[in-house]
Amino acid sequence: MSSCSIHSSTKIIIPTIARYFGTKGRYEEVNTYLMDDILATNNSLVTLPPSKCSEIHLTAIIRHGTRYPTIKNIQKMREFYDLVVGDATGNLNCLSEIKSQWKMWYTDDMDGRLVDKGRKDHRHLAQRLIKWFPSLLTEENVRHGRVKLITSSKHRCVNSTIAFREGLMKALSIEAELELAVNDALMRFFDQCERFVKEVENNKSALEEVKHFNEGPEMKRVMEKMADRLQVPYASITDDSVEAGFFLCAYEFAIQELNSPWCQLFDEVDAQVMEYAGDLKQYWKRSHGHDINSKSSCILFHDLFYRLDRVVSQINSDGIVSEAVTVQVGHAETLLPLLTLLDLFKDDIPLSSTNFATQHNRIFRSGKIVPYAANLLVVLYKCPEGIRMGVRLNEKSLTLPGLTDPVPMYEDVKKRYRALLEGCDQETVCTINKS
């Protein structure tokens, strides 16, 4: 590894390790055709119902766009930068580049805020959704209050929602009132679920698999290779150091589309280990690792089906749908528990600290599921045989587990999830039994 210089050209040079960035990854890494045309829609990825059906409703649950690191990660990144600049003596090209040209430009006040790229993520998504659903995202529906925008209170979500609205208005060539409603009970349910906070969020043992992996042989090897490249003592590199270096590479690419010299400090095997560490954390903290992770999203699950039921009853009575499109903007932590509740992305063997080697083909890959601007689209269709429902994740059709039809009858979906529809009460699920 003698050279690690940065390339400069008008075409974006994608780091070879970009597909391993997990939740810090770009949406374009999931849908690579967008690199050529950011407003393209790929019909080959979507299964539609028979041609005599018409779309009657869309709910889009969307993660905020690309953001700055949080203050906690900015501090880790600064510490690693200081170590590299102060102590590293390796002779790699990228090291001299980091020392002579790269400045630590992240500041504490950036703390998780939306970046320009994140605004574009949402403006462009809005424009693509108009192409996907031209009969729903219409000027008439906007003007008549049939398009609703709901957001988490976090500034990155509010600003993503505003950007989505801008994209919508621009593409429809209108100026109209379209208010945002802040609703943390729905979009940040995890903060308000007492049992989740106590048993997972504030419980170190809930993430012991992550801790064991970070202390295990694969991560130890990544740390040793990093120390060798930097020519610093092994003791000065921790799992936090390599994570910080990985983030410096990932954020630089996501925010500025730069293949930064930091990326050259990792080879592909290192990146796979870093990705697995991130996926382990998401798995145990937000997904299949603990039952309460998914159950904490019951409130959002019921909100979705309550709305779908209302649309169906309106179609069956007078045919006028009061809410044609509902857009809800939240976090990776909003989407992952709900997708988990729907039984999606479940590997036969749980992810653990000891099975990295056998999980290379795992289904649970956070970068594929919840990159920046990830979106779950639930569509209702009115068909001659009744109401059908389609589900897409990141603009690709998904077949719900236990159902064979990619666009099943809505009643069949409700039968599949009957246990959750009849149970999964947020208050019961989230209350800690004091006895």
- For residue 396, the domain's CATH number is 3.40.50.1240
Q: CA of 171: how far to CAs of 57, 126, 130, 133, in Å?
A: 20, 8, 8, 13
pTM higher than 0.75, yes or no?
yes
- Judge whether 2 lies within some domain: no
Cα gap 281→195, rounded to integer Å: 18
Mean pLDDT by 10 residues, the chain (435 residues): 43 93 98 97 95 95 98 97 94 92 96 98 98 98 97 98 98 94 98 97 97 98 97 96 98 96 97 98 98 97 98 92 97 98 98 97 98 98 96 98 96 98 93 75
365-421 per-position pLDDT tens digit? 999 999 999 999 999 999 999 999 999 999 999 999 999 999 999 999 999 999 999
- Judge whether 380 lies within some domain: yes
Nearest to 296 by CA among 112, 133, 426: 426
Give the distance from CA 365 to its chain's centroid: 11
- The domain total for the chain is 1
Q: What would the two tokens of residue 301 be?
A: 């699950």
Which residues are identified as catalytic?
64
Given this model, what pLDDT does residue 242 score?
98
Q: What would the two tokens of residue 361 be?
A: 């083909």
Task: Provide DSSP, 14-31.
Answer: --TTGGG-GGGS-GGGTS
Given this model, what pLDDT does residue 433 score?
77
Cα gap 208→214, rounded to integer Å: 10
- Judge whether 13 lies within some domain: no
Domain that holds residue 82: 27-430
- Judge whether 19 lies within some domain: no
Give the distance from CA 198 to its chain's centroid: 24
